[in-house]
Structure 1
């Protein structure tokens, strides 16, 4: 199991924005302390190169990120103030997801401590996302003919609107999003398969819905690789999620996905996505469960 992590994840933002970022430092520390991973499994990615970024994002938008010329309106849409550190963080995230995918093709699974930036479009960012790491990684693999068919399983509570828009009309990447029907983004794009969930959904209904979808996806898409967005904002403790999934239910969700991938011998690259519970221990523990379960199933 490869775990992509870089220390710049920890504090790239002004003081008022640091809380959501603290998990990126705490997750690997917890996994190392428990012995779930070793130092040898921790991988520090280099920044992704410009040619790779431009397979997905427009030159005009990339220029703005490089030269810090996003307008106030564009920054508000993203929800974060622009800074060179934030841009660097995003291109490292993209390379981390690429590296996890390459590792997964050989070894079964690779997990990025960050990533899942599914609200980023080709020409703009939204919802705390500047660059779309799953899209960047998918295009990288396809352009190099390392895979022919990609499946994106997005189980963050928010629809992967940027991902859906980026791959509309591109059958080589099949986008699946199971998300809160009444949650952000309030204007949804059209994925290849969207499963909107009602507010207040509990474990049994959530898990049975996913269990019904997974075999259909695998049989229909027949992917060479799956990108799995394992957001923990489905938790009942999440401030914005509107679902009632317990930590055990969230863990069982990961088990369903990983067991299906293992059973069908499909490589799986994972990114953490969102999580906004009031207590950061709830966020970190739920994310760590994703790594724990991956280690148990893939070895």
Structure 2
């Protein structure tokens, strides 16, 4: 496995900000994840929807600006072909959501309580952005079917339930994509590993009685939502959890996903576990988050499991720290899936 270091791009530049170089130092890989196969990033396409801006009132706590910052970082890296996300068709959304709820959101007739629970004021711009966010995950899933890897620079809306939204989540793109793939006969079994600091309660609820979908959530036990749902596997962490304890718990759960033998894995890669996140309460470093990402990607690579990456939460101040952490997830993916392991434990840096 790997230990990650962030080297400053210029003298005096803070670690973990744009311009730094991600480097990897190899360690012994666990037995269960050795050498089972390789997935290559052929087209290396990612999908974005930040060109659909959401009008929000002054002081709103949703960090909408992080998405454009993330795209700018990855554009500068040159590792990926970034494509605008298509708009999802409502018929696909209704695979996971109540048709009446979908219709009322799209036409702006949801009641005030329901919109307050979602956390956004309704607007036509919000509708377009929401459809693009779902469309990005559907496109990323199609990419994963073709190449083994797909990514959406949005999505991961894991608080959306069958008939209502919550916590800045309108539609659950993870559930929609899984059910669309299954409808089309592309997969039989899927797993979701949700590493956002907040439990993936909507995803857990939608798939609670579905034996063909394994939901795994590692989250802050004392954080939102106060009323947790039952995932296939839930690991609640105490406030203040740092890199070592977090990574230990993550590695403990990966063999259970391997035993489930999913055809595809959806990775909700929220970075609100980062130390100092306004809504996080955990204490992971940038390096720890990259080790987290590496563990997930090496796992899927070794077992030849297709993987779809979505974003999730991230509320650091300044928000550039969150954008950098999201960018590092995709940098680690490029490193794992396109570069050979370096012999003798020498460090390898990301080159696109």
- The answer for the alignment partner of 2:305 in structure 1 is 266
Mapped partners of 1:268, 1:217: distance in 2: 13
Mapped partners of 1:14, 1:180: distance in 2: 28
- The answer for the alignment partner of 2:69 in structure 1 is 26
Structure 1: 5+ residue stretches without partners? none
Mapped partners of 1:13, 1:150: distance in 2: 35
- The answer for the alignment partner of 1:275 in structure 2 is 314
Mapped partners of 1:25, 1:163: distance in 2: 26
- The answer for the alignment partner of 1:13 in structure 2 is 55
The superposition leaves residues 113-155 of structure 1 with CA deviations (integer Å, 9 ceiling, x where unpaired) of 0000000011110000000000010010011110000000000
Q: CA deviation at 1:36?
A: 2.7
Q: Which one of the candidate residues 194, 216, 220 is aligned to 2:234?
A: 194
- Return 286-295 or 18-27, whichever deviates more: 18-27
The higher relative CO (CA closer than 8 Å, separation ≥ 6) is in: 2
Conserved? CA contact 1:108–1:298, under 8 Å: no
Mapped partners of 2:70, 2:97: distance in 1: 29
Aligned ranges 1:173-252 → 2 under 5 Å? 173-219=213-259, 221-252=260-291
- Return 67-76 or 118-127, whichever deviates more: 67-76
Mapped partners of 1:18, 1:253: distance in 2: 26
Q: Which has the higher helix share?
A: 1
In angstroms, what is the RMSD of aligned CA positions?
Answer: 1.2
Conserved? CA contact 1:113–1:272, under 8 Å: yes
Mapped partners of 1:45, 1:252: distance in 2: 28
Mapped partners of 1:7, 1:161: distance in 2: 25
- The answer for the alignment partner of 1:83 in structure 2 is 123
TM-score (norm: length of structure 2): 0.81
Structure 2: 5+ residue stretches without partners? 1-43, 339-352
* SS of residue matched to 1:21: coil
Q: 1:107 to 1:257 in 2, by over 3 A?
A: same
Mapped partners of 1:241, 1:100: distance in 2: 27
Q: CA deviation at 1:19?
A: 5.9
Mapped partners of 1:19, 1:226: distance in 2: 27
The superposition leaves residues 149-207 of structure 1 with CA deviations (integer Å, 9 ceiling, x where unpaired) of 00000000000010011011111111110100000000001011111111111100100
* SS of residue matched to 1:8: coil
How many residues of Structure 1 are paired with residues of Structure 2 in the alignment?
Answer: 294
* SS of residue matched to 2:150: strand
